[in-house]
Structure 1
Amino acid sequence: MEEIKAWAKKLKRQIFILYFAYKDNRVPWYAKLFAACVVAYAFSPIDVIPDFIPILGYLDDIIIVPLGIMIALKMIPKDVLSECEMKAEEMMKNGKPKNWIVGSFIILIWILFFLWVILRVYQLLK
C-alpha cells in the first residue's frame, strides 16, 4: 500500500511539473500544447472511460495519464524541467492552487464535446 501512495504522490508531483512547464516561455509550443492536454485531462473530473466501468474505468488513471506525463516530460528542455521540479516541490508543501476559471473551462469543453457527440449520433439516426 505504501508503494501505491508513493507512486500517486510522484504522479501528482509530475503533473505539477507539467503545469509549471506549460507556463514557461522556453518550452516549445508543441510541448506546451501536449503538457496542457495532459494536465487538463489529469485534473478533469470527467474521464474518457468512466470509473464506474469495472477494470476498464481505471485504465486511464493507471496507463493513459502516466504515459502522457512520461511523453510530455521528454519534450521539455532539461534546464526548464529542473526549475519546474523545484517549483512543484514548493507547491506540494504549500498546497495546490485552485483555479476556478480553468476548471470551468475544462468542464465547458467536455460539455461541448458531449453535445457534439449527441448531435452526430442524432444526425446518423435520422
Structure 2
Amino acid sequence: MLERLREAARHLKAELLALSHAARDPRTPWPARALALLVLAYALSPIDLIPDFIPVLGQLDDLLLVPAGLWLALRLIPPVVLADARAEAARAPARLARSAWGLALMVLVYLLLLALVWRWWAQRHGG
C-alpha cells in the first residue's frame, strides 16, 4: 500500500512537471494555460486554501484540489502538446521548487476572494 502511494506521488509530480512545460508551450490555448498556471501556483505555493495545521482538512485540500485541477488542466491541453511536454519532463526530470510568483498569484486570488465575500456580505447586511 505504501509503495502504491509513493508511486502515485511520483506520478503526480511528473504530471505537474509536464504541466509546467505545457503551460509555457505557445501551442497551448490561453484558457488551458491560465488554469495550468493556477494549478501550478496552488501546488507550489506555501499558502494553502485550508492551512495544513488544521487536522485532516489541511491535507484533504491538497489531496483533492491539486489532482482535480491537474486532471482538468491536462484535459484542456491538446494531446500533441501534452505528449511533447511529458517527453520533455521525462528527459529532464527537475524538481519543481516553491515559487515566489506562485505565492504572489495565490495571495492575489485569496485577496480577490476575500473582496468578493466582503462585498457580498456588505450588500446583504446593509452596506
Instruction: Please report the TM-score for the alignment, with normalisation by the length of structure 1.
Output: 0.79
Deviation at 1:91, TM superposition (A): 2.8
CA distance in 2, matches of 1:107, 1:64: 14
What is the aligned partner in structure 2 of residue 14 from structure 1?
15
Contact 2:42 2:102 survives alignment (8 Å): no
Deviation at 1:102, TM superposition (A): 2.7
Superposition RMSD in Å: 2.8
What is the aligned partner in structure 2 of residue 96 from structure 1?
95
Deviation at 1:101, TM superposition (A): 5.4
Q: Could you tell me the percent identity over the aligned residues?
A: 38
Give the residue type in structure 2 aligned to 1:102: W
What is the aligned partner in structure 1 of residue 28 from structure 2?
27
- Cα deviation per residue 1:72-125 (whole Å; 9 max; x = unaligned)? 100000100100001111232xx33658653563476378569869x88xx88x
* Higher mean C-alpha deviation, range 71-80 or range 54-63: 54-63
Instruction: Please report the TM-score for the alignment, with normalisation by the length of structure 2.
Output: 0.78
Which structure is higher in RCO with an 8 Å CA cutoff and minimum separation 6? 2
Unaligned segments of structure 1, at least 5 residues = none
Give the residue type in structure 1 aligned to 2:54: I
Give the paired residue count.
124
SS of the aligned residue for 2:92 comes to helix
> Post-superposition, which runs of at least 4 consecutive aligned residues in structure 1 deviate over 4 A?
97-101, 110-117
Give the residue type in structure 2 aligned to 1:37: L
CA distance in 1, matches of 2:73, 2:48: 19
Give the residue type in structure 2 aligned to 1:90: R
CA distance in 2, matches of 1:42, 1:26: 23
SS of the aligned residue for 2:53 comes to coil
Contact 2:19 2:36 survives alignment (8 Å): yes
What is the aligned partner in structure 2 of residue 80 from structure 1?
81
